[in-house]
């Protein structure tokens, strides 16, 4: 009788140890799995998510610039050109009223569109008809801009499209900063060609089920060219690199 009781105690002790060992192994496996996901999987997924977030943000930015600047801006109104009594150009400056109006309207359009897209309210987007033609409208209504096939983590083209889809969302962080940049180039004789570029800077938070990341987007879009003509000089000397030839004096 005592022997049976002793064997029963041993069996219960062994059973408890097996259970504890299994629990410990499960904890270790979970820890290793999350560590693998954090070190190997998340960077791959974030690369895809960041690329898609930049892509759709660029579409919205370019569309807003085309609507508010390229199609509606009179380039001559953008500059204030000061000339002297001989009609020579003395100074060139921006028209601050026009610049502020253009930048304010453009940045507000971009900010609203990104917020509507973030919230899935695509019916309120102020975009041209085909701007988001390559995107799934039903997914956009859920705030999902892209779905990454989980098979991409294997790095094999044959496995890239297998497995469940991982949704990608984003949030606009802070305000959009916009300003006008110019580049002045020589053009012909005594002329200058001014290239006008709109520069927009914004920050987004890319959101995946297991991780998030903040990214900065800096977009430069050329919007106009302005030729400033000066007077043609009586004499024009350019590019003479050979030495002068001495002529005999009679």
113 pLDDT more than 90? yes
pTM score above 0.75: no
Residue 8 has what pLDDT? Answer: 55
112 lies in a domain?
Answer: yes
176 lies in a domain?
Answer: yes
Q: Considering the chain, what is the average pLDDT of its residues?
A: 77
188 pLDDT more than 80? no
The answer to which of 76-90, 138-152, 191-205 has the lowest mean pLDDT is: 76-90
- Name the band, by pLDDT with cuts 50, 70 and 90, for residue 237: very low
205 lies in a domain?
Answer: yes
- Asked whether 175 and 181 are in contact (CB, 8 A), the reply is no
15 pLDDT more than 90? no
Query: Could you read off the pLDDT of 52-88 as tens digits, one per residue?
Result: 999 999 999 989 888 887 777 777 777 777 777 777 7
Q: Which domain holds residue 140?
A: 41-229
User: How many domains, in total, are found in the chain?
Assistant: 1
238 lies in a domain?
Answer: no
146 lies in a domain?
Answer: yes
240 pLDDT more than 70? no
């Amino acid at each position: 009788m005592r022997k049976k009781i002793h064997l029963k105690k041993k069996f219960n002790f062994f059973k408890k140890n097996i259970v504890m060992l299994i629990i410990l192994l499960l904890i270790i496996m979970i820890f290793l799995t999350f560590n693998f996901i954090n070190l190997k999987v998340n960077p791959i997924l974030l690369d895809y998510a960041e690329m898609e977030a930049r892509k759709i943000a660029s579409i919205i930015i370019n569309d807003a610039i085309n609507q508010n600047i390229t199609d509606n801006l009179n380039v001559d109104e953008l500059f204030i050109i000061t000339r002297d009594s001989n009609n020579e150009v003395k100074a060139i400056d921006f028209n601050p009223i026009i610049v502020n109006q253009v930048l304010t309207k453009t940045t507000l359009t971009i900010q609203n569109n990104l917020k509507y897209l973030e919230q899935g309210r695509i019916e309120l987007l102020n975009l041209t008809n085909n701007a988001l033609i390559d995107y799934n409208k039903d997914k956009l209504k859920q705030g999902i801009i892209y779905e990454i096939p989980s098979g991409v983590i294997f790095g094999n083209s044959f496995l890239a499209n297998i497995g469940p889809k991982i949704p990608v969302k984003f949030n606009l962080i802070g305000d959009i900063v916009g300003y006008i940049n110019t580049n002045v180039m020589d053009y012909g004789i005594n002329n200058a060609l001014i290239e006008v570029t709109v520069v927009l800077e914004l920050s987004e938070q890319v959101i995946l089920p297991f991780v998030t990341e903040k990214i900065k987007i800096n977009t430069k879009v050329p919007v106009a060219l302005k030729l400033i003509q000066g007077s043609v000089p009586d004499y024009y000397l350019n590019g003479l690199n050979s030495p002068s030839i001495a002529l005999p004096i009679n």
